[in-house]
Amino acid sequence: MVCTRYRPKDLKLARRHIVKAAHRIADQERVIRTLSLKGAPAGPAYALLDRLYDNQRRKLARLKLIEAMLNESLTCPALRQACNPPGKTNTHLRLISPASASSRNPDCLP
């Protein structure tokens, strides 16, 4: 799977696609209602409506994925900052010669 980094702009675009898909579905339902009132066959119109529903379902799944990845990327930096406060530096390991380590208390390092 390809690693993708999503931005808030992608989330906004995905939401717009969902709205457009909902409008297309509403328009197609209106067409079907009109055809049924006229008594005309609506088989192809129902087939198109099924495809529109599938398309909307895929777009909703993609939107949920983008939201989840953005929420994860927003919470992870907060965890990293909590582990390493900015004012505190990391402790570094020092090399000690065996002679100086054996002559002193092993719990107390120079």
- Convert the pLDDT of each residue in 19-35 to its tens digit: 999 999 999 999 999 99
Q: Whole-model pTM?
A: 0.61
Going by pLDDT thresholds of 50, 70 and 90, the confidence category of residue 11 is very high
- Calculate helix-pair angle for 43-83, 8-38, nearest 10 degrees: 160
Would residue 3 count as lying in a domain?
Answer: no
Would residue 106 count as lying in a domain?
Answer: no
Would residue 91 count as lying in a domain?
Answer: no
The Cα–Cα gap between 30 and 46 comes to 11
Contact assessment for residue 25 and residue 56, using Cβ atoms and an 8 Å cutoff: yes
Would residue 67 count as lying in a domain?
Answer: yes
**Which amino acid would we find at residue 95?**
L
Lowest mean pLDDT among 6-20, 23-37, 73-87: 73-87
Would residue 37 count as lying in a domain?
Answer: yes
Selected residue with higher pLDDT from 106 and 72:
72
Q: How many domains does the chain have?
A: 1
Q: By residue range, what is the domain housing residue 38?
A: 8-84
